[in-house]
Amino acid sequence: MMLRCVLDGLLLYARLWGEPPLLLAFDGDEAFALEAVEALYYEIVAATRTERIALDHPRFRLLRYAADFRSIEDNDAALA
């Protein structure tokens, strides 16, 4: 999936990891877990159906979809 910072427009690749799921965002080679409060500063730009279902977890309730959100196929390697 792809996230965008609402403060500076920076695009970050992100993925769900583990159980309960953590949302890991990647800034270059460095990964960080996106905490619930930090979700206020990011919006989802692109995600698969599987990722969208997982993001329904209460931990991610503050994360919003961007106005230009696009859905991608589960097997789409464009963001991989």
Is residue 77 situated within a structural domain? no
> Does residue 66 contact residue 4 with C-beta atoms inside 8 Å?
yes
Is residue 79 situated within a structural domain? no
Q: What is the percent of the chain where pLDDT is above 90?
A: 59
Is residue 78 situated within a structural domain? no
* Alpha-helical runs (H) found in 1-80: 49-54
What is the per-residue pLDDT for 20? 76
Is residue 33 situated within a structural domain? yes
In this structure, which long-range contacts are made by residues 5-8, counting pairs with CB atoms below 8 Å and at least 24 apart in sequence? 5/41, 5/42, 6/41, 6/42, 6/43, 7/41
Amino acid at 74: D
User: How far apart are the C-alpha atoms of 29 and 50, rounded to whole Å?
Assistant: 24
Confidence band of 42 (pLDDT split at 50, 70, 90)? very high
Is residue 50 situated within a structural domain? yes
Number of domains observed in the structure of the chain: 1
| Global confidence as pTM | 0.85
Domain housing 22: 2-72
